[in-house]
Amino acid sequence: MDLVALVALLALVEYMAFGVLVGRARSRYGVAAPAITGHPIFERTMRVQQNTLEQLVVFIPALFAFGHYLSARLAAGLGVVFLIGRIVYLRGYVEAPEKREAGARLSALPIGVLVIGALFGALRALF
């Protein structure tokens, strides 16, 4: 489970880095707090951070549950795919919203596998 914890912590570090990017974009494009609209690149950068937060709510518990019930190594591997997917998503979305799809899919797939696998593992443990 050490690998699972490491991947979960890396996901949090990635999220924090996205927050730094939002702050930089806010400064660069003159979007004064608390505004959340302004320059399109600021808005897209902020959406990446917010979308990532929305996914972390599902990703982290599913990561730990999958690791506990099925396989810590496989959970960590799927977690790494998620992390890479978020970077691909960031790069694509900030460049142009229509380029976010590959990263979105690369992030969503491991989450789906983690949730379904964790649910299967938990049910198997119950019965």
pLDDT digits (tens, 9 = 90+) for 9-64: 999 999 999 999 999 999 999 999 999 999 999 999 999 999 999 999 999 999 99
Task: Specify the CATH number for the domain of residue 87.
Answer: 1.20.120.550
Alpha-carbon separation of residue 7 from 17, 44, 66, 71, 84 (angstroms): 15, 25, 13, 14, 11
| Number of domains present in the structure of the chain | 1
Q: Given the structure tokens 């924090």, which residue do they identify?
A: 16
Name the nearest CA neighbour of 105 among 94, 95, 113, 117: 113
The pLDDT value recorded for residue 65 is 98
How far from 57 is each of 40, 60, 87, 115, CA to CA, in Å?
Answer: 26, 6, 18, 12
Whether residue 34 is preceded by a cis peptide bond, meaning omega within 30 degrees of 0, is yes
Q: What is the mean pLDDT of the chain?
A: 97
Domain span at residue 115? 2-126
- Using CA atoms, how far apart are residues 32 and 63, in angstroms rounded to an integer? 36
